[in-house]
Amino acid sequence: MKYKIAVTRSAQKDINKLNPIIKKRIHKKLEYFINNEDPLKFAVGLAGNEIGGYRWRVGVFRVIFDIDGDTIVILRVRHRRDAYK
């Protein structure tokens, strides 16, 4: 199944605050996850579902997302110390 990516406004704000090197690293990693057969095999399910259902780890950053049909909705992109607050 081929997934599409949608980015929420809050996630876009998170991304815009990052330096260009980190942005590029996160973009490359997301492309890798999405182009894989099963992108969820790299994800960790989140308990509580207050923020989102899943997360990917990209270095010290966490990409928090949900799945809506064939769309992966990126909810937040935050440093791990702030990701779950």
CATH code of the domain covering residue 33? 3.30.2310.20
Amino acid 56: pLDDT: 95
Contact 78, 16 (CB under 8 A): no
* Residue 84 covered by a domain: no
Contacts of residue 54, defined as CB under 8 A and 6 or more positions apart, other chains included, come to: 40, 43, 44, 45, 46, 64, 65, 66, 67
- Domain tally for the chain? 1
Q: Give residue 83's pLDDT band: very low, low, confident or very high (50, 70, 90).
A: confident
Answer yes or no: is pLDDT of 49 > 80: no
Answer yes or no: is pLDDT of 10 > 80: yes
* Residue 26 covered by a domain: yes
* Residue 85 covered by a domain: no
* Residue 73 covered by a domain: yes
Contacts of residue 61, defined as CB under 8 A and 6 or more positions apart, other chains included, come to: 18, 22, 26, 77, 78, 79, 80, 83
Answering whether pTM is above 0.85, one says yes
Which structural domain, as residue segments, surrounds residue 50? 4-79
Amino acid 29: pLDDT: 95
* Residue 27 covered by a domain: yes
